[in-house]
Amino acid sequence: MLNYDLVVVGGGPAGMAAALKARENGVESIIVLERAETLGGILEQCIHTGFGLHYFGEELSGPEYAGRFMKMLEGTDIDVKVDTMVLDIADGNVVTAVNKKDGLLKIQAKAVVLAMGCRERPRGALSIAGSRCSGIMTAGTAQKYVNIDGYMPGHEVVILGSGDIGLIMARRMTLEGAKVKMVCELMPYSGGLTRNIVQCLDDFGIPLKLSCTVVATHGKDRLEGVTIAKVDERLQPIPGTEEYVSCDTLMLSVGLIPENELSKNSGLQLDVITSGPKVDEYRETEHAGVFACGNVLQVHDLVDYVTEESQIAGLGAAKFIKGEKVTGECVYTKGINGVRYIVPQRINRETDTDVKLYFRVGAVYNNAKIIVECDGKEILSKKKVKLCPGEMEYVTLKQSVISELPADAVINVRVEA
Amino acid sequence: MTYDVAVVGAGVVGGLIARELSRFQIKVALLEKCNDVAMGTTKANSAIVHGGFDAQNGTLKAKLNVQGTLMMPEVCEKLSVPFKKNGSVVVAFSEKEMDHVKELYERGIKNGVPELSVIDQAELRRIEPNISDKAVGALLSESAGIVCPYELTIAAVENAVTNGVEFIRNCEVKAINENNDGYVLDTTVGEISAKYIINAAGNFSDELAKMVGDDSIELVPRKGEYYVLDKSVGNLAIHTIFQCPNEMGKGILVTPTVDGNLLIGPTALNIEDKEDITTTPEGLKEIVEKALKSVPIVSTRNAITSFAGVRAHPVNDDFIIGWCDKSANFLNVAGVESPGLSSAPAIALYVREILNEKLELKEKTEYTDVREEPVRFRHMSDEERAELIKKNPAYGRIVCRCETITEGEIIDAIKAPAGARDVDGVKRRTRAGMGRCQGGFCGSKVVEILANELGVPMSDITKFGGDSKIIYERTK
């Protein structure tokens, strides 16, 4: 059995930032366990730019952004094991992991940070009719083939779903010489960032078809085409609007799911909306000493916010390890009327910090107001020119306001259109 | 190359026949037109071992079903294939259907089905807690079970190859010529000579028979669509839950699978194109509507995939097993629709007996009917895992996160006798890519391992052979 103060599960942007922040705050022994062969997580295949505008104030590629954190890690005594998969986190924070070199590892930790990231929703979850031919893949899988392995996954592409990875891949495939015929989006609005729609679709003349979906795939061995159709307000295909589009590749960018198998197996209950663990203002889950941050907690739009959140978790873990973390009576947060969820889900009343409430809205709003209320009384409000589901939002609650709320109070956050 | 026997078709029937024949001092070839075994009806059916009460008294189906189901536990044990005797219920939703259930009971008793009983509503609810309130009673068949049909086939062929059977893939028979010594099969990989041919070509057995002038086999391709639901809802059904059968088959069932998922389906639609394994919006909708009748809390929110299979429904409604009238040494094993999987072990014995009429079968001195269990990292204790990785570090790298499948297991699957040559082959042998993310993360890794082990570029690797390419040329 090895002993570490802090075990960080996942060496992507979340895990690296959490580990560094914990080290900065006096945690002596830290180990980062990463299942891939390198640190960096999904950023390693995101060779486009657009990362770091908020955090570093400059525009970096994914590997550059990750590289800065790797360099910072190298300058510390934080241990890193790559190609190492965590299999289990047992009661009392005993982490079981496996790799080729060490075989089976058991690590006793004082605190654990969960930073496993997220994965893409696969085709099966969509139940698209048709054959099981090749050529149907998630946008992220296609991105790995192109950017990491250096192979073309197809030449004539239809993309279903306008999530950011789908939009990025529309541009990427075009630059590699493929014909991207269209991006179909089930909803009447895109799930991706506005800047990606402009830079990845508009600039290349790739049509974005809203309220449109793929209803069937065709082809025996390799995909030969898809049937698309318009959908009604209930998102059901409208008969008579079907159209055949020939293509050899269908890329799916239809949502991301936090990868919480480990969390679930260790007994953590997940928030039904975020599909991540429920946490307090320092991202401590319902298990003492187990923290969560990054896309395993909630799917973020920008890596800069992942970093910010992970630093909060790293600081929280440091406070926990040193016995300085406030735990006690809580107030609870709730998204209503257009606000889908809030992270964190609970806040310690006697917390030592201001708390940002992160959330996403469920529809597009123009000139709207975010209102935070407790027990019918408005705590604060914030005007927004535009709110859309593709972008994360936040409001900041002052420590002084939190400490005045009664125990178990519910803080509601809503949109006023 | 000249063989004593060429078995055409490496589905569960051909695979188990090849295994049975591998015990004897004869040269056997198993010819398969696809890139892997179990690529037709075998890989896409209900995965049920039926009690044996459905088939009419006196039919070959009835006899071989009952016998095959009794053999199944031992066959599975020898081949290290999971089999679970979970039992089945045929649920009645009215007194009229209850009469039908009683009829099935009588038929089953006459067929010799053991452990059969008619149960009332209270008992049904006790043994199957999620069953619909509207169910009034059921036929309970306790000898019924579940098995993974392609795993059984993979194991059977592996065992056969270990005993000396030659497995030839991508070998489609185009024509058959007869001469004094037997047959010359003109195939996509060249000419193959054999004294005897066993026609286990599934949906294509009618076409194969026609190559020797036998046009007596009449098959109707019948498509069935299914949903596979996540393991988190695998316990919604304990038994295999049938509704009362009709002229198109046994209706929509709800069943756990031996791997712990929930399977619902199949639809039953007669079609023209026997290779049409597309799912349809109508079919998928029908499955859900009808499954809800049995288990009202089933939901496709938990669907991880859907698929369709085509079964060869014989017009005469019974298996067609016996020497062909038109060609002396050509043995048909055709029309093996449900309960074909259940019957397969018995069919293999039956075929051996028929063959024995003409070909004196003498046992080999060196022979094993056991297939060693492949490494299953996910089922091991931590101590076993630690030991294993010490011996071979490849078991220390997890490739498929959802199902916890190691690189070592994937390499084993490729190196095994009649091993995997494509991504779906790896998936069927190891479960890599079969979990919640459906290969999103591990797909490209599996392609890389296949390319390494087979010594070919990644772009040569396919999903399931043929033109099912996954990637093309290098990027610019």
The CATH number given to whatever domain includes residue B322 is 3.50.50.60
How crowded is residue A267: how many other Cβ atoms within 10 Å of its Cβ? 11
Q: For residue A289, which amino acid is it?
A: G
CB contact under 8 A, B469 and A134: yes
Give the count of alpha carbons within 13 A of A112, CB side only: 27
Percentage of chain B beyond pLDDT 70 is 100
Partner-chain residue, chosen from A103, A123, A129, that has the shortest CB–CB distance to B281: A129
The CATH number given to whatever domain includes residue A132 is 3.50.50.60
Judge if pTM exceeds 0.90. Answer: yes
- Min mean pLDDT across B133-147, B161-175, B177-191, B238-252 is at B238-252
pLDDT at A21 over 70: yes
Whether B396 is in a domain gets the answer yes
Q: Looking at the structure, do residues B158 and B139 belong to the same domain, yes or no? A: no
Q: Looking at the structure, do residues B35 and B62 belong to the same domain, yes or no? A: yes
Q: Looking at the structure, do residues B132 and B257 belong to the same domain, yes or no? A: yes
Q: Which of A304, A325, A346 is the last residue of a domain?
A: A325
Which of B50, B239, B313, B379 does the annotation list as catalytic? Answer: B50
pLDDT digits (tens, 9 = 90+) for B76-120: 999 999 999 999 999 999 999 999 999 999 999 999 999 999 999
Q: Looking at the structure, do residues A131 and A229 belong to the same domain, yes or no? A: yes
Q: Looking at the structure, do residues A15 and A98 belong to the same domain, yes or no? A: yes
CB contact under 8 A, A176 and B394: no
* A366-386 as b/e: b if 16+ CB within 10 A: eebebbbbbeeeebeeeeeee
Whether B471 is in a domain gets the answer no
Q: How confident is the model at residue B36 (pLDDT cuts 50, 70, 90)?
A: very high
Partner-chain residue, chosen from B281, B393, B476, that has the shortest CB–CB distance to A100: B393
pLDDT digits (tens, 9 = 90+) for A313-324: 999 999 999 999
The answer to whether B239 is a known catalytic residue is: no
Q: Which of A325, A349, A364 is the last residue of a domain?
A: A325
The CATH number given to whatever domain includes residue B392 is 1.10.10.1100
Q: Looking at the structure, do residues B181 and B69 belong to the same domain, yes or no? A: yes
- Is residue B112 packed enough to be buried (19+ CB in 10 Å), middle (13-18) or exposed (0-12)? middle
Q: Looking at the structure, do residues B163 and B95 belong to the same domain, yes or no? A: no
Whether B466 is in a domain gets the answer no
Q: Report pLDDT for A124.
A: 66
Q: Nearest Cα to A138, choosing from A151, A121, A125, A126? A: A121
Query: In total, how many domains does chain B have?
Result: 3
**Which residues in chain B have Cβ-Cβ distances shorter than 8 Å to A87?**
398, 404
Q: Looking at the structure, do residues B450 and B345 belong to the same domain, yes or no? A: no
pLDDT, chain B, mean: 95
How far apart, in Å, are the Cα atoms of A329 and each of A315, A323, A412, B23?
20, 17, 18, 73
pLDDT at B211 over 90: yes
Q: Looking at the structure, do residues A177 and A152 belong to the same domain, yes or no? A: yes
Q: Looking at the structure, do residues B233 and B381 belong to the same domain, yes or no? A: no
Name the strand (E) or helix (H) holding A310: helix A303-321
Report the gap between the CA of B299 and the closest CA in chain A (Å): 12
Q: Report pLDDT for A193.
A: 87
Whether B467 is in a domain gets the answer no
Q: Looking at the structure, do residues B283 and B387 belong to the same domain, yes or no? A: no
pLDDT digits (tens, 9 = 90+) for A285-341: 999 999 999 999 999 999 999 999 999 999 999 999 999 999 999 999 999 999 999
Name the strand (E) or helix (H) holding B282: helix B281-294
Q: Looking at the structure, do residues B73 and B194 belong to the same domain, yes or no? A: yes
Q: Where are the alpha helices (DSSP H) in B357-406?
A: 382-391
Whether B23 is in a domain gets the answer yes
Q: Looking at the structure, do residues A298 and A360 belong to the same domain, yes or no? A: no
Q: Looking at the structure, do residues B347 and B391 belong to the same domain, yes or no? A: no
Query: What is the pLDDT averaged over residues B254-273?
Result: 95
Whether B473 is in a domain gets the answer no
Q: Looking at the structure, do residues A340 and A297 belong to the same domain, yes or no? A: no
Q: Report pLDDT for B274.
A: 93
Boundaries of domain holding B398: 377-460
CB contact under 8 A, A127 and B443: no
Q: Looking at the structure, do residues B384 and B286 belong to the same domain, yes or no? A: no
Q: Which of A224, A254, A284 is the last residue of a domain?
A: A254
Put simply, whether A123 touches B (Cβ < 8 Å) is yes
**Which residues in chain A have Cβ-Cβ distances shorter than 8 Å to B279?**
127, 129-131
**Which residues in chain A have Cβ-Cβ distances shorter than 8 Å to B444?**
141, 144-145, 148-149
**Which residues in chain B have Cβ-Cβ distances shorter than 8 Å to A83?**
397
Partner-chain residue, chosen from A35, A103, A106, that has the shortest CB–CB distance to B389: A103
Q: Report pLDDT for A253.
A: 93
Residue whose pair of structure tokens reads 């059968």 in the numeric block: B245
Q: Closest residue of B to A260, CA-based?
A: B402
Boundaries of domain holding A272: 1-120+255-325
Q: Report pLDDT for A125.
A: 62
Percentage of chain A beyond pLDDT 70 is 99
Phi/psi for A122 (5° steps) reads -85, 175
ipTM over 0.90: yes
Whether B468 is in a domain gets the answer no
Put simply, whether B40 touches A (Cβ < 8 Å) is no
Q: How confident is the model at residue A132 (pLDDT cuts 50, 70, 90)?
A: confident
What is the total residue count of chain B?
Answer: 476
Task: Count contacts between A and B (CB, < 8 Å).
Answer: 149
Q: Looking at the structure, do residues A106 and A127 belong to the same domain, yes or no? A: no
CB contact under 8 A, B280 and A129: yes
How far apart, in Å, are the Cα atoms of A67 and each of A13, A41, A46, A72, A280?
10, 11, 12, 9, 30
pLDDT at B390 over 80: yes
**Which residues in chain A have Cβ-Cβ distances shorter than 8 Å to B229?**
none
The CATH number given to whatever domain includes residue A391 is 2.60.40
Partner-chain residue, chosen from B304, B441, B443, that has the shortest CB–CB distance to A125: B304
**Are A144 and B444 within 8 A, CB to CB?**
yes
Strand partners, A244: A227
Put simply, whether B356 touches A (Cβ < 8 Å) is no
**Are B105 and B115 within 8 A, CB to CB?**
no
Q: Looking at the structure, do residues B9 and B78 belong to the same domain, yes or no? A: yes
Residue with the larger pLDDT of the pair B438 and B136: B136
Q: Nearest Cα to B375, choosing from B427, B401, B403, B410? A: B410
Give the count of alpha carbons within 13 A of B188, CB side only: 12
Q: Looking at the structure, do residues A246 and A221 belong to the same domain, yes or no? A: yes
Q: Looking at the structure, do residues A302 and A347 belong to the same domain, yes or no? A: no
Query: In total, how many domains does chain A have?
Result: 3
Q: Report pLDDT for B204.
A: 97
**Which residues in chain B have Cβ-Cβ distances shorter than 8 Å to A152?**
471-475
Query: What is the pLDDT averaged over residues A213-221?
Result: 94
Put simply, whether A35 touches B (Cβ < 8 Å) is yes
**Whole-angstrom Cα distance, residue A156 to residue A170?**
11
Name the strand (E) or helix (H) holding A113: strand A103-114
Q: How confident is the model at residue B435 (pLDDT cuts 50, 70, 90)?
A: confident
Q: Looking at the structure, do residues A277 and A337 belong to the same domain, yes or no? A: no
Phi/psi for B453 (5° steps) reads -70, -35
Q: Looking at the structure, do residues A344 and A240 belong to the same domain, yes or no? A: no
Q: Looking at the structure, do residues A247 and A126 belong to the same domain, yes or no? A: yes
Whether B465 is in a domain gets the answer no
Put simply, whether A154 touches B (Cβ < 8 Å) is yes
How far apart, in Å, are the Cα atoms of B442 and each of A118, A159, B435?
14, 21, 10
The CATH number given to whatever domain includes residue B290 is 3.30.9.10
Q: Report pLDDT for B248.
A: 76
Report the gap between the CA of B205 and the closest CA in chain A (Å): 21
Put simply, whether B280 touches A (Cβ < 8 Å) is yes
pLDDT at A14 over 90: yes
How far apart, in Å, are the Cα atoms of B187 and each of B8, B168, B264, B419?
11, 11, 38, 21
Q: Report pLDDT for A417.
A: 87
Q: Report pLDDT for B3.
A: 98
Q: Looking at the structure, do residues A129 and A109 belong to the same domain, yes or no? A: no
Put simply, whether A224 touches B (Cβ < 8 Å) is no
